[in-house]
Each structure stands twice: as C-alpha cells, then as structure tokens.
Amino acid sequence: MVNVKEKDFIEIDYLAKIKDTNELFDATYEEAAKKLNPKVNHAHYGAKIICVGQGHILSYLEKQLIEKEVEKTYIIELTQEQGFGKKDLSLMKIINTTILTKQKITPFPGLQINASGMIGTIRTVNGGRTIVDFNHPLAGRGLVYEIKINRLIINSKEKLGSLIQNVLGIHDHDYEIKIENNKTEIKTNIKINKEHQELLIKKAKELIPELTEIKIN
C-alpha cells in the first residue's frame, strides 16, 4: 500500500461538479465530461500530474489527498469557503450600459467581459444599468470532486514536465526536455521571461533535487 505524502508527485483524474446542481465544471475524463456537459471545451483533457502542497489544485482538496492511498478513488466535498470563497458583494459593480455599447459590447446576462484587467460576468441588464459580477464564477458554491489517484510519479522527466505545465501554464507540445547525467535542458517555443525562468528552476531544484543543473533555451 502506497500513501500520498506532501511534495509527492502524483497523477490524478477527476470530475468536479457544483454540489447543489450536479453541474460539471471541470474534468480530466473527456468522454464522461461530454456526457455530463457537451458545452465543455475538451481541448486539453487527460490525467493531470501535480506536486502535492504546491498549489497546483485547490488548497483544501490538495490537503485531503495527503495519506490517501494510490490507485483508489475518493469523493471529496468542499464548502464555498474551501473552494473559491464566499460571494463578495463589493465585487458586484453597476456599470452604465452606454460605456459597454461604446466598446461594441452588447451586454446580456451570462456574458463575460474584461474590465481594466478584471474578468466579470454580467448578471442583469436593466435600462441604462448593467450589473457585473467580478467574483470568481464558482464563488459561493459548494463543490464535489470525484478524484482518482492513479499513480506515484518517480520519473524525473515527468516531474519536471508537471512543473513546467503548472508553474508556467504551458502544454507539453510547447516544450521539450532532455536529461543526461542529471543535467537538464528545456527547450520551449514560447518566450519565458527571466522571472518565471528563475521561479521554475528554483522549484525544480527544491522538488527534484536529483536534477543538478537546469537550463532553459
């Protein structure tokens, strides 16, 4: 029996639903996701590798995986506080509708807009006033995760690939990893600024100490 510890790299699959409506909002299982919600974008489905305790998934969910057994499936419920937080009424903003129409935006309930770098969802449009909700779309909702811990990751290349995807937010088709005698070269077709390169290298050396040298090109 293998149990998960903090800083372990593990591969997981999951279905994530809103508790009171049973509506799917995230998944790694493509076929299951299509059946539950055909509107979901299925571009990047597949098992996800995370490092436990590094914030790659919701903090509460991550903590619940510690000491859980590998190759088993668990149902984990999250309150609104444990998920994306309670609704903050101060993030409900009234915007003059003409401001939006001048930007060639036709407002309607459910439309997501970008206002000064913040993503908001239009809740109501009434005459000359539009109410925009800048809370996270899942704020105030209880969540249910059905999560399977597939395996413990021991391969250094898989671990590093997970960090690249979770720290930098890029997909596996955008980078290549070469490891020889624990010296590592990462080639990517996406420009990574110096600050993010340093963060990735620092995390990799901390969590994958067998990699003695890491270069990013």
Residue 203, pLDDT above cutoff 80: yes
Q: Model confidence over 60-97: pLDDT tens digits?
A: 999 999 999 999 999 999 999 999 999 999 999 999 99
Contact 130/124 with Cβ under 8 angstroms?
yes
CA distance 68 to 207: 20
Q: Which CATH architecture has domain 155-217?
A: 2-Layer Sandwich (3.30)
- Which pLDDT score is estimated for 40? 53
CA 166 and chain centroid, separation: 8
Q: How many CA atoms lie within 13 A of 9 on its CB side?
A: 20
Residue 158, pLDDT above cutoff 70: yes
CA distance 199 to 105: 38
Coil, strand or helix at 30: helix
Coil, strand or helix at 38: coil
CA distance 184 to 178: 6
Same fold, 1-88+139-154 and 92-133: no
Domain boundaries, the chain: 1-88+139-154, 92-133, 155-217
Which residues touch 80 (CB under 8 Å, ≥6 apart)? 86, 139, 140, 141, 142
Select the CATH number that applies to the domain covering 1-88+139-154 from these four: 3.40.440.10, 3.40.50.300, 3.10.50.40, 2.60.40.10.
3.10.50.40
Q: Which CATH architecture has domain 92-133?
A: Beta Barrel (2.40)
- Which pLDDT score is estimated for 79? 97
- Which pLDDT score is estimated for 42? 47
Q: Which amino acid is at 128?
A: G
Residue 38, pLDDT above cutoff 70: no
